[in-house]
Structure 1
Amino acid sequence: MKPEIAVIMAAGKGTRFGSLTAEMPKGFIPFKGKPMVIRSVEALIDAGIKEIIIGTGYHREHYERLAERFPEVKTVFSPRFADTNSMETLYRCREAIAGRPFLLLESDIVYDISALKTLIDDPHPDIMLITPVTKFQDQYYVDADSSGNLAGCSTDKSEVSPSGELVGIHKISPGFYKAMTGSYSRTMDEEPKLGYEFQILRTAKSCCPMHVLNMPRLQWYEIDDTSDLAYAEKNIALT
């Protein structure tokens, strides 16, 4: 079954942007004149996604106003956002996801719509999207095994034999998400700062293989701070 919903992780404070995120969440920082999250919402709609769930926290009012503008958008607030991480936000979205396959995205990435269309059409039910390593800072390295399934991931290149770099766009099946959240519910109080990427890895290694898909020519960038923004504005060919 092809996913018709998407979940965008957007609860974080984006402190590395300094004053730019004093009054707004980082998803609203403009890339080439348009906020990153609005670019993503429009791309998702153009790719055929019918419903977009945004997991919110910091300055959630911006996303709530966005939901008034786009009928496809709904928000899920994580009241513990200041003390937790992205897995908590994703866990909070379980009722809105309601047992359906979905695309999972970060709020601070810019990308070509081909990434979405490729994941939607690919027959694998669970996919982690990667590209060759191109980001000049804060890379998240991904290792695939001989079958093309997720074997490891780390911010430390020496810990894995990287097949590429995490983009921040996934396809998740109902079974995989159920396994992720079931395991997390038993450890969430012990690991409040757990990122969803590490829970994906645990789930992939314990019970549910995740296919790693490499798109070498994909135009994309994760924008974590003003240096990233300047680099992406200059080098990423998106209109």
Structure 2
Amino acid sequence: MPLIDNAIIMAAGKGTRMRPLTYQTPKPLIEVNGKPMIESVIDGLHQNGIKDITVVIGYLGEHFSYLTDKYAGLKLINNPYYDQYNNISSLYVARNELKNTVILDGDQVITNPQILDRHFEHSGYAGVKINQWSDEWIMHVDDENKIISCSRDGDDQGWRLYSLSKWRAVDSERLKRLLTHEFEDLHHYDLYWDDVAMFKYFDQFELAMMPIKRNDIIEIDSLDQLKEVERRLKG
């Protein structure tokens, strides 16, 4: 059974849906319950012994510099394309960090660090079971939790995909090669990096769905959601 070697945290985006807060503060550094969101991710990784952490920065990137002093083993990689291209550019600039790797977004709150356990069997994505309509990416799985398809247009049955994925080294090498091909050769700059494995080259991977509970990860995409999460966590 492989062990996670390192983590890549995506933190380059502008966070436009959280304006005006993000005019001066990058979204991953917005505090939730007194702690920047990205620090809940980093602390969760540290609790599982994952200290080789790469944070991909872009928008207001200088604001993240304190993290290298606070967390030993953490490094920053600048994404010079963040203002022009989709997030395929963020994993592209960090592609040489892909090993037995966990990839997460920095603008979310990890409330259950157990989901970041280093032990894992298959490459794949975290998911939460749904039984009502969601317009998020929805995975469909077989009886062994292997992902058989994914809908980017939403569904009312399946497993909602969360931005937590774990990759075995062999799949990381394949992902790195295909990512480079899409970015350097085909110039498909408008892709999400997840498109590479989940849609464009789905048949080249055998991905599993990792079940988590609804509140293990909290994603915040609006000021109203931020207020509601703050109220809930403090209550």
Q: TM-score, normalised by structure 1?
A: 0.86
Which residue, 144, 153, 160 being the options, matches 2:150?
Answer: 153
Percent identity (aligned):
23
**Alignment CA distance shift 1:227-1:116 (3 Å):** same
1: CA distance, partners of 2:181 / 2:84? 18
> How far 1:209 moved relative to its partner?
0.3
Query: What's the secondary structure of 1:121's corresponding residue?
Result: coil
> How far 1:27 moved relative to its partner?
0.2
1:142 equivalent to 2:139? Answer: yes
Paired residues of 2:51 and 2:73 also in contact (CA < 8 A):
yes
Query: Structure 1 residues 216-225 or 167-176, which shifts more?
Result: 216-225
> How far 1:146 moved relative to its partner?
4.2
Query: After superposition, what is the alpha-carbon deviation per residue over 1:19-45, rounded to whole angstroms, capped at 9, x for unaligned?
Result: 101112100011111100011111111
2: CA distance, partners of 1:27 / 1:178? 28
* Structure 2 match to 1:63: 64
* Structure 2 match to 1:46: 47
**Alignment CA distance shift 1:135-1:104 (3 Å):** farther
Question: Which letter maps to 1:182?
Answer: R
Query: What's the secondary structure of 2:179's corresponding residue?
Result: helix
* Structure 1 match to 2:119: 121
2: CA distance, partners of 1:185 / 1:10? 20
2: CA distance, partners of 1:74 / 1:177? 20
Matches within 5 A, 1:73-152: 73-95=74-96, 97=97, 100-111=99-110, 112-117=112-117, 120-122=118-120, 124-133=121-130, 139-152=136-149
Query: What's the secondary structure of 1:83's corresponding residue?
Result: coil
Moved over 3 A (4+): 133-138
Question: Which letter maps to 1:224?
Answer: D
2: CA distance, partners of 1:206 / 1:149? 12
Paired residues of 2:54 and 2:75 also in contact (CA < 8 A):
yes
* Structure 2 match to 1:176: 171
> How far 1:232 moved relative to its partner?
2.2
Contiguous gaps of at least 5 residues in structure 2: none
* Structure 2 match to 1:197: 194
Contiguous gaps of at least 5 residues in structure 1: none
> How far 1:136 moved relative to its partner?
9.5
- Number of matched residues? 231
Paired residues of 1:180 and 1:203 also in contact (CA < 8 A):
no
1: CA distance, partners of 2:229 / 2:192? 24
Q: TM-score, normalised by structure 2?
A: 0.88
Which residue, 144, 160, 164 being the options, matches 1:165?
Answer: 160
> How far 1:218 moved relative to its partner?
4.8
1: CA distance, partners of 2:102 / 2:131? 23
**Alignment CA distance shift 1:163-1:196 (3 Å):** same
RMSD of equivalent CA atoms: 2.5
